Amino acid sequence: MRMTSSTKIMLIACGSFSPPTPMHFRMFEIARDHIQQMGLGQVVGGIVSPVHDSYAKKGLVSATHRCAMIKIGLKTSDWIHLSDWETQQEEWTRTRQVLQYHQNYINSYLKDTNGTINNQHIPAWIPEGIKRTAGQVQLKLLCGADLLESFATPGLWKDEDLEAILGYHGIVVISRAGSNPEQFIFNSDLLSRYRRNITIVTNWVTNDVSSTLIRKLLSRGLSVKYLLDDHVAEYIRKFGLFGTNNETDRDGSSCLRGTAQN
């Protein structure tokens, strides 16, 4: 995988986003600046892919709510979009397959010169005008250093999946307080083998806000102002999520009309 300043890149972040924080979206901006400044490619789009409801993680609210919050949080972005594909599947999808699906879709979209695919619903995460400007597009996994470190958790990731993610796509890792991605890669034979496909980006303006922190503050009735998008906070209160008080519509079914639609 050779990257030059003309390589077209799309970034995809997989995670819970329960709720999405400004830092989830900031990761994309930090990564794009780094990639472009270092002449590693041209970032043509960003995808936020929330995990399926069946991914049993503490504090995970329904995908309907998570997708709605992501769309609200991304309202002012002209290049990062939600993909709700993972949430629409029958069950949890491994990250390798999530990347494969999106890469295949991009490839067929770019190859479709006779416009067949244009008769179908084109998902919002396909960047506008991409057909005119792009030859090939390389989809890379964007993550925080904690996700990279989870690769070492026994039984969590299949080696063949990591080989495919690292070998075929590559990853862009944003540093996070308390992590040392360089050391972590050095300690792993597998990661060291694919070192050139791992881009580490130092986040010089550290901000360790996490969904866990936001959930904690909300459940204690404390303020999240300036830590969370005002409109996302308003949505959370409206639906009484994360231990806030409103008891109406905890599964988000009434918001299927409107904000939650792709």
Ligand X SMILES: Nc1ncnc2c1ncn2[C@@H]1O[C@H](COP(=O)(O)OP(=O)(O)OP(=O)(O)O)[C@@H](O)[C@H]1O
Ligand Y SMILES: NC(=O)c1ccc[n+]([C@@H]2O[C@H](COP(=O)(O)O)[C@@H](O)[C@H]2O)c1
Question: Could you tell me which stretch among 85-93, 126-134, 144-152, 229-237 binds ligand X (CB under 6 A)?
Answer: 144-152
Taking CB under 6 A as the criterion, which residues in 156-175 touch ligand Y? 156-157, 161
Q: Yes or no: say if 144 and 27 are a contact pair by the CB < 8 Å rule.
A: yes
Position 32 contacts ligand X (CB under 6 A)? no
CA torsion 99→104→109→115, rounded to 10°?
A: -150
Cα dist from 253 to 57, 79, 155, 190, 260, whole Å: 21, 28, 35, 43, 9
Residue 17, contacted partner among ligand X, ligand Y, none, CB below 5-8 A by kind: ligand X
Position 169 contacts ligand X (CB under 6 A)? no
| Residue 232 DSSP label | H
Distance from C-alpha of 214 to C-alpha of 227, rounded to nearest angstrom: 8
Taking CB under 6 A as the criterion, which residues in 42-61 touch ligand Y? 51, 55, 57
How many residues of this chain interact with ligand Y, rule: CB under 6 A? 14
Question: Using CB under 6 A as the criterion, what x/- string covers residues 81-100 for binding ligand Y?
Answer: -------------xxx----
- Give the DSSP letter string of 49-75: EEPPTTS--TT---HHHHHHHHHHHTT
Residue 83, contacted partner among ligand X, ligand Y, none, CB below 5-8 A by kind: none
Using the rule CB under 6 A, which residue among 24, 66, 71, 140 binds ligand X? Answer: 24
Residue 136 is encoded by which pair of tokens? Answer: 């090939």
The residues facing 50 across adjacent strands are: 15
Q: Where do the DSSP E strands lie in 60-184?
A: 80-82, 137-144, 171-174
The residues facing 12 across adjacent strands are: 47, 141
- Closest to ligand X by CB, 134 or 233: 233
- Closest to ligand X by CB, 9 or 23: 23
Using the rule CB under 6 A, which residue among 3, 31, 68, 147 binds ligand X? Answer: 147
Which residue is listed with tokens 């002449």?
39
Position 73 contacts ligand X (CB under 6 A)? no
Residue 157, contacted partner among ligand X, ligand Y, none, CB below 5-8 A by kind: ligand Y
Kindly list the residues in this chain that would bind ligand X in the complex (CB under 6 A): 13, 15-18, 21, 23-24, 27, 59, 143-144, 146-147, 174, 176, 207-212
Kindly list the residues in this chain that would bind ligand Y in the complex (CB under 6 A): 14-16, 51, 55, 57, 94-96, 147, 150, 156-157, 161
